[in-house]
Structure 1
């Protein structure tokens, strides 16, 4: 069984603008199923496709199965089967020998920047880069599947 242990943080935009960013990819991802207990996601990363099945999150842990699929299949699934989607630029940054993935969201989520770190254990120690701000691991509104349905640009609209 695949397991994902992930912590999420908001990013200080001013400090982030000064950070060295060497590696990045464009992500387009959509959701075939998106509910609290399970998610089926299709992702197109630059020229590679993936389908991912995720289970219920407990703490910072959930089951996860991810498989590569042909780029053309990912494109067709995104265009014809996804109920919601989002796009972002993901940066890959190593800090103290740990990989951080920082997402600058595009489109309806533009202005939101979220950093993630995957761990091998929920209690695994790690240090925070200076551009990391508030932890939002347990705030569901920051999940990608939620952002695809309730975009950041609408959060302040009553």
Structure 2
């Protein structure tokens, strides 16, 4: 399985997003929060994706494949009660890293989270977040999208 090495943070202050790429995202989970793997459907603008994730924390297994809208629509009803909607802003950080900032809608508003993927664990652990990043939630299960989709905002 491919690996995803990623750190996640709450957003303390929204940065200037004028140069960032924006996409509208809706995603739903075919698996439940207590399942050992995560199977997710995602629509990102006009792209449709099926993603399998395994593990927790900094390093996780991940496989993703693009699917058709018909395939997406076939399985979407099975995600009822396990969905989120958000705007995703993708932009550049110093050192060539990319951030993905999610601004959640609906019951998860006003939650804002940002994630950064890294080529190695060493780079992830040595990363110094910019000032606009808030508290790190990489290892806080309550802020995993699959948990948020079912349980809502952490108390």
Structure-1-length-normalised TM-score = 0.88
Name 1:101's counterpart in structure 2.
Answer: 100
Q: Which runs of 5+ in 1 are unaligned?
A: none
Q: Which runs of 4+ in 1 moved over 2 A?
A: none
Superposition CA RMSD, Å: 1.5
Aligned residues: 149
Indicate the residue corresponding to 1:128 in structure 2. 129
For residue 152 of structure 2, what is the aligned residue in structure 1? 151
Match of residue 78 from structure 2: 81
Mark the CA change 1:28 to 1:123 in structure 2 (over 3 Å): closer, same or farther: same
SS at match of 1:147: helix
TM-score by length of 2: 0.89
Deviations 1:1-46 (A, max 9, x none): 211111100101xx31x52333110110000013352010000110
Unaligned runs of 5+ in 2: none
Secondary structure at the counterpart of residue 120 of structure 2: coil
CA contact (8 A) 1:44 1:75 kept: no
Mapped to 1, the partners of 2:152 and 2:28 lie a distance apart of 13
What SS does the corresponding residue of 2:29 show, helix, strand or coil? strand
Distance, in Å, in 1 between the alignment partners of 2:51 and 2:130 is 28
SS at match of 2:8: strand
